[in-house]
Amino acid sequence: MNIIIVGCGKVGSTLAEQLNEDGNNITVIDMNAAKVESITNRYDIMGIVGNGATHMVQQQAGIYDADLLIAVTGSDELNLLCCLIAKKAGNCQTIARVKNPDYSTEAPYLKNELGLAMVINPEYAAAAEIARVLRFPSAIKIDTFAKGRVELLKFRLPEKSRIVGMSVKEVVTKLHCDVLVCTAERGDDAYIANGDFVFEEKDVISIIASPKNADDFFRKIDYKMHSVKDAMIAGGGEITHYLCDILHRSGISIKIIERDKSVCEELCSLWPDVAVINGDATDQSLLLEEGLTNTGAFLALTNMDEENILLSLFARSSNQGKIVTKINRIDFDDVIKHLDLDTIIYPKNITADMILRYVRAMKNTIGSNVETLYNIIKGKAEAAEFIVRENSPVTGKPLCELEFKKDVLVAAILRGKNVIIPRGYDVIEPGDAVVIVSRLMALHDISDILK
Q: CB of 240 within 8 A of CB of 246?
A: no
Which band of pLDDT confidence, cut at 50, 70 and 90, is reported for residue 441? low
Q: State yes or no: pLDDT of 145 exceeds 50.
A: yes
Residue 230 CB neighbour total at 10 angstroms: 16
Using a cut of 0.95, tell me whether the model's pTM lies above it. no
pLDDT of residue 367: 41
pLDDT at 158 over 80: no
One of 1.10.1370.40, 3.30.70.60, 3.40.30.10, 3.40.50.720 is the CATH number of 2-120, namely 3.40.50.720
Q: Do domains 2-120 and 368-449 have the same CATH topology?
A: no
Q: Side-chain half-sphere of 57: how many Cα atoms within 13 Å?
A: 20
Q: Strand order of the sheet with strand 118-120?
A: 46-49, 25-30, 2-6, 68-71, 93-97, 118-120
Confidence (pLDDT) at 249: 85
Residue 307 binned pLDDT confidence (cut-offs 50, 70, 90): very high
Does the domain at 230-320 match CATH 3.30.1490.390? Answer given as no
Per-residue pLDDT band at 369 (split at 50, 70, 90):
low
85 has a pLDDT exceeding 70: yes
Which fold does the domain 144-220 belong to in CATH? Alpha-Beta Plaits (3.30.70)
What is the reported pLDDT for 297?
93
Q: What is the pLDDT of residue 365?
A: 45
- H helices of 22-119, in order, are 33-43, 55-60, 76-90, 101-104, 107-114
In the predicted structure, residue 387 carries a pLDDT above the cut 90: no
Write out pLDDT tens, residues 159-214. Answer: 778 888 888 888 888 888 888 888 888 887 888 888 888 888 888 899 888 888 88
Cβ–Cβ under 8 Å, residues 21 and 14: no
CATH class of segment(s) 368-449: alpha beta
What pLDDT does 48 receive? Answer: 95
pLDDT at 268: 92
pLDDT of residue 442: 65
Can you give the residue ranges of every domain in the chain? Answer: 2-120, 144-220, 230-320, 368-449
Average pLDDT, the chain: 86
